[in-house]
Chains A and B, each alone.
Chain A
Amino acid sequence: MNAYSSCRFCCLATLVVIAMWLGACASSTYERRQYSTNASSTPLGSTETRGFLGNSESIPRVRGPINETWIVARAPNSSSSVRAGYDVRGTGPGIGSLVACDRGTDGLPTRAFPLENTAVQARLEGPVASVDVSQRFRNPYGDTIEAAYVFPLPNDAAVGDFVLRVGDRVIRGIVREREEAEAMHRDARAQGHVASLLTEERTNIFMEKVANIEPGASIEVTLTYYNMIDYRDGWYEWRFPLVVGPRFNPPGERDGIGSTRVGGSVESDQKTHVEYLRPGARTDRGVQIDVAIDAGVPIRALESPSHTIVAAPPESSIATARFVGGEELANRDFVLRYRVAGAEPQVGLVSTKSADGKGYFALTLYPPEVVRIEKRAPIDLVYVIDRSGSMSGRPLAQVKEVVRASLGKLHRGDRFQIVDFGSDARGFGDAMVVVDDRSIVDARRHVDALNADGGTMVLEGLRRALALPSDEGRVRYLVFLTDGFVSNEAEIIGEMHKTLAGRRVFAFGIGSSANWAMLEGMADTGRGAVADISSGGDAVAVMDAFMERIAHPIVHDATLSLSGVSVDQLWPRRMPDLIAGRPVTVFGIYTGSGTSQVSLHGWSGSERVERTWMLTFANDTQSKALERIWARAQIATWSDDATWQPERGDEIRRDILATALRYGIASPYTAFVAVDGSRVTSGSDRRTVVQPVPMPEGVRYETSVDGRR
């Protein structure tokens, strides 16, 4: 290349550079004109440290001296997929965005994040709960954002309605096939419309996204769910989970729930992503829970073992309770219990007819609370103890306490073994140990020496427990003590289906917000029951009572028959054993109406038992919730099938999808979407900001998030 050519080329290149620079300016201008009516927001550009926030004066939470600086979002890059979390599309530091935070009046650090308030309104009517959960998001930043929030619901919650409130306008969401709903939300987000999406990540974990919240704007999203109220040990118990515990994802898992620290350097590679606040830190979110009870019979007592409530004295069958607090109290399940007057119930029926004439019912059998104590045959008991990192501290201490006490309740002639699992599984021995003074002392010493650390390889623990040599003629009980903070619930339940054989499984939920979806799944599969030994009360007493009961099922190998109405599609398909204080609910469809004879047949020890009741099935619409609860139970059964029949995966997926769409409920394959197409919001950035959550009470932050998970 001669000098003339080089010079000409350089001139051309210089011109093009100038043109590109002009173009970049024009491009930036174009973006603002395209999406902003007031052009007041600052697009992400060369103003790196204030790009996202725009004018720092718009940060609403700064009072007094600034003492912390946080990156709350990062610049987007090429990927169009958005995970929950910060705008995690950008893996590099990109263009930093800072938010300044202050300390609240109580000295704890607070953060400006989008979720401003959670309001729960529950109506408990008879055995059915109808609950509205409203999340109000407010954009505290200087540019338009999308807020993402991962939150828990009860694992049997049938989410049947979803409403978006923008100012005084109310927009009802539509349930659609998940991929379609996600695409609609994505399109609406890209086009600048306010839009919200609700997806089910696990049976008890949901994710809400609200796109295009303008600076300073508030948007409220309300979902409505229905479920059955639990009845345990003579008390009705309504539980509302407030936080998702940090899940362990086994190696290779990509469809799990990732857990990282807020603003941390380690990003989750899981599909869903939860970020946790450090101990002592909190956002300024408020929480209100209002419960209205119409029990149908006089209420004798009302209490919350988990939170301080304001409750009006029960007036006959009506009662109300209220909890108001900040996020520091949203780190555990809210539990409300009430006891009603009258004799112990034996059976309860709720039935309704839908508009198309199809009847739905929920039949609950209440075994007596008191067990007839009599000499029992020797049993084999295997304690399967979770010693993973999330059990560090109080949870493991509680487990040690209850296992030590439980060992003392074993009879001569019983046999036991202790399996503990973290990243691997170990044991007190390789065979069942006969109960004697020496073995109990040694076992207690073994339990005392356990330390919490590592992952949560439940499957390893299960396999080791199942590998223990068995003895014909003895019933073997597996007693799991765990918080259940794993993402591979389906894999675990599937393994149980394949390998449990006649073994019974009882699951004790440890901690203030255990993964009840997995615990109940384990107990259902193993024809056992669950117990909560952490929501206040005496854990050892709960364990003692349970030890008395597990060896004395009231009725086992039970069957149910109905005459007078024709019933179909009963869930669960197989009647579980009836254990003292643990009711069993059967859902089904019926045709016909009127009085029907309901009979329960089974065995109590070696004695055949039969109970018969005359019940009336409704001929009109009594409850709109019931058909959705039934549909949810049906989906739960199919989901359970899918855990151990992978070859039926496509068929099961089709069935679940059809049922969820037909009944308009959330499921793994459906989602709610609501779009406000009436206007295009201002702003140009539109990144996603995830709402961080506090660590569940009693769970150690250091051993539960980041890196290991």
Chain B
Amino acid sequence: MPRSSDDFDPPNHSLRLHRELGDAASRGPQIPDDIDAAIRSAIARQFQASTPVRRVTAWWLVAGAIAAVLFAAVGTAIWSAGRTALVPSQADGRMTIAAALREVERISPNSSQRAKAISDPRVRAILMAIVAISGTSGDAKPLAIAPHASFVVYDIMIDTEVQALAAWQCELSLPGRIAGIEGGDGPFSAPATYDRAALVTGRVMLAAIADGAAATGSMRVGSVTVQFDSEAPPPSITLSLACGRGAELIPARFQLLPRTP
């Protein structure tokens, strides 16, 4: 399905591109034969793959009618239910009214400004148009962040106060999938290793040894990127172990802190 007015007539679009390439060629560089063949072939395929759009006027009339229906239905919803009724977003990530409203909200953080903006007929028209376009736009790529699959980074912090930390190990309780292990600061800049066998059973066990001099005080010894499926309790550290330079256990306070962008 077309995405914008430029794409409504693919053959013409392709021909225009071809013509522009030809113009470019006439100005100096020559289009290689295979590129030229590629374009011609692609144009031919496009003709085959696309339903020919011969009656543009009729199409616009149909599209206009559909948009008008959408306009009326969603406009009524806006007036009657307000913003909260429009929140459900589409899982496929296409632009939605909710996303558009969030954008309005971002631009106009003040509620009164927001109300004014939403009540503005021009904004409303834009929102309706967005809905119309997104609803018919089969080739729209995912735009919104799908809430079911967001990635969050957690920093692993260890505070050993005056004791020098030479190695550490911990087990994380993650209500999601670990997607990366980042190195920490100072002597823990190399990413921690993880227990592959434990991960098979869903346990995330990390460990690292200081590269060089052991460090004291509070430090970030690593980070993990976690993908969450849905609203879930925050991750936590269930087991932890810190060692000093002599491989002796030392007291340490472990923390898992979400990193804010």
Contacts and interface: CB of A to CB of B under 8 A. Distances in A.
Interface of A: 9, 12-14, 16-24, 26-27, 30-31, 33-34, 45-46, 48-49, 65-71, 76-78, 80, 91-96, 98, 100, 163-164, 169-176, 180, 184, 187-188, 190-191, 193, 195, 261, 263-266, 356, 658, 661-664, 673-680, 686
Interface in B132-185: 132-134, 138-139, 141-146, 149-153, 177-183
A257 to B, nearest CB: 21
Interface in B20-77: 20-21, 24-25, 28-29, 31-32, 34-35, 37-43, 45-46, 49-50, 60-61, 63-65, 67-68, 71
Nearest to A663: B196
B261 interface: yes
Given A24-B4, A93-B46, A677-B180, A171 B225 contact: yes
Interface stretch (B81-89, B121-129, B236-244, B245-253): B121-129
A406 B109 CA distance: 84
B68 A12 contact: yes
Contacts of A93: 14, 17-18, 38-39, 42-43, 46
Contacts of B129: 16, 19-24, 26
A289 to B, nearest CB: 24
Given A30-B95, A170-B191, A171-B182, A24 B133 contact: yes
Contact of B177 (A17, A45, A175, A184): A184
A95 B17 contact: yes
B216 interface: no
B192 interface: yes
Contact of B63 (A16, A70, A663): A16
A174 B202 CA distance: 13
Given A193-B151, A662-B200, A663-B196, A69 B24 contact: yes
B129 to A, nearest CB: 2
B24 A678 contact: no
B100 interface: yes
A612 B4 CA distance: 78
| Most chain A beta-carbon contacts within 10 A, residue among B28, B42, B68, B134 | B42
Contact of B139 (A12, A19, A70, A77): A77
B256 interface: no
Contacts of B35: 69-71, 263
Nearest to A189: B142
Given A9-B65, A96-B20, 19 more contacts: A19-B67, A19-B128, A23-B130, A24-B5, A26-B129, A26-B130, A78-B1, A96-B17, A96-B21, A170-B191, A173-B180, A174-B181, A188-B179, A263-B34, A265-B42, A661-B196, A662-B197, A678-B259, A678-B261
A48 B39 CA distance: 14
Interface of B: 1, 4-6, 10, 13-14, 16-18, 20-21, 24-25, 28-29, 31-32, 34-35, 37-43, 45-46, 49-50, 60-61, 63-65, 67-68, 71, 93, 95, 99-100, 103, 106, 122, 125-134, 138-139, 141-146, 149-153, 177-183, 189-194, 196-197, 199-200, 223, 225-227, 259, 261
5 contacts: A23-B127, A23-B129, A26-B129, A30-B103, A69-B29
B190 A170 contact: yes
CB-CB nearest 5 A-B residue pairs? A23-B129, A13-B64, A664-B196, A677-B151, A677-B225
B14, B145, B179, most chain A CB atoms within 10 A: B179
Contacts of B67: 16, 19-20
A9 B125 CA distance: 18
A387 to B, nearest CB: 27
Contact of A69 (B21, B125, B179, B183): B21
Nearest to B148: A187
B183 to A, nearest CB: 5
A189 B213 CA distance: 37
A23 B128 contact: yes
B38 A265 contact: yes
Contacts of B10: 92
Contact of B138 (A78, A98, A174): A78
B196 A34 contact: no
B123 to A, nearest CB: 9
A170 B189 contact: yes
Nearest to A93: B42
A663 B196 CA distance: 6
Nearest to B64: A13
A267 to B, nearest CB: 9
A49 B16 CA distance: 10
A622 to B, nearest CB: 19
Contacts of B42: 91-94, 265
A662 B38 CA distance: 46
A661 B202 CA distance: 11
A66 B95 contact: no
Given A30-B95, A78-B1, A164-B180, A68 B32 contact: yes
A24 B6 CA distance: 11
Contacts of B61: 9, 13
A655 B244 CA distance: 40
A42 to B, nearest CB: 15
A658 to B, nearest CB: 7
Contacts of A100: 29
Contacts of B194: 172, 174
B90 to A, nearest CB: 14
Nearest to A160: B196
